Structure 1
Amino acid sequence: MDDLDRHDVLLLAELQRDARQTVQQLAAAAGLSSTPCWKRVKEMEASGIIRGYTVLVDRERVGLSLCVLAEVNLTRHNEDDVRRFEQAVAACPPIVGCYATTGQADYVMKVLVPDIKRYESFLHETVFKLPGVTHVRSSVVLREVKAESRLPLDVPRPAPAKRSRAR
């Protein structure tokens, strides 16, 4: 975040809050005029800071009522097995998050499916067949207490105005 100034961080915070804002709305929120605002957003898109735009969907209203956190261990950790496992995970739509971790599990996956029967099928037809999987421990999410997609960006404070000394 070293290259981002106060205006960039304000723009990112605003886009995370509502990515459908007009350039004029973003510019006003960041204290910029429209052209510099548009240029900054385009630069952040080109550099990969902004990876894309999306819509938040209520998973339960689209039939994905069951959320499971699955801890996965691999038999071996050689480069080829890890690469094949991670490629298979990336290609599996019900796995909406996967994290290589320290501790008891090699990976923690977030899986969304309609119900427990579908999760059981998913385990047998998909997870147990993933390259190198030796152990899976599943935790069914009873209730989401917090599921935030926004990054907690700290907006730098504006530099204090310099006072002139009157004599």
Structure 2
Amino acid sequence: MDAIDARLLSALQRDGRQTVTDLAAAVGLSPTPCARRLARLEAEGVIEGYSARVDQARIGFPVSVFIQVELESQSKDAIDTFERAVRGFDRVMECHLMTGTRDILMRVVAADLTDFDRFLEDKLMRVPGIRSMRSSFALRTMVRRQVLPVRVSA
């Protein structure tokens, strides 16, 4: 990745709806080479896709819950089984395999406490292989970045 790729990615992260012409002007290219670079970054998987950032509270999910999960076993099969199950839960916004005393850290959204309780009882508590769970409710988000720092590769 060179400096132009880095500028392209930074500009796209700030505004993914820019036209190729506007993006090219922002990074100092003409539109055709800019489009070629975009296509290459997409083909290489650097650009994973395009989406809109949506305010979760304004669409009815003001509650964020962080759930620490300890599995009964840390075998590949146990982790794969858990992962397959939670991939099907649309309330799970993030799910990370962790080091330390808890195996999994998840961020789940909910409409309210009753909605979260329903999610636990109807979904998460039915996943086989969970030893224990601990939930923490976010009071407010202090920092949420959507733009990754982009560095030029050596």
Percent of aligned positions with the same letter in both sequences? 39
Partner amino acid, structure 1, of 2:37: R
Tell me the equivalent position of 1:124. Answer: 121
TM-score of the aligned structures, taking structure 2 as reference length: 0.95
Which residues in structure 2 correspond to 1:97-112 (within 5 Å)?
97-112=94-109
Tell me the equivalent position of 1:35. Answer: 32
Q: Within the alignment, does 1:145 sit opposite 2:139 as a pair?
A: no
1:89-110 Cα distance to aligned partner (Å, 9 max, x none): 1111000100111122101000
Partner amino acid, structure 1, of 2:74: H
Q: What is the Cα deviation at residue 154 of structure 1?
A: 3.3
Q: What is the Cα deviation at residue 155 of structure 1?
A: 5.9
Runs of 4+, deviation exceeding 4 Å? none
Give me the CA root mean square deviation: 1.2
Tell me the equivalent position of 2:18. Answer: 21
Tell me the equivalent position of 1:89. Answer: 86
Question: Which structure has more RCO (C-alpha within 8 Å, separation ≥ 6)?
Answer: 2
Structure 2, gaps ≥5 residues long: none
Larger Rg: 1
Structure 1, gaps ≥5 residues long: 157-167
Residue 134 of structure 1 aligns to a residue in which SS? strand
Give, in whole Å, the separation in 2 of the partners of 1:12 and 1:75: 41
Query: Does the aligned pair in 2 maintain the 1:10–1:155 contact within 8 Å?
Result: no
Give, in whole Å, the separation in 1 of the partners of 2:41 and 2:150: 15
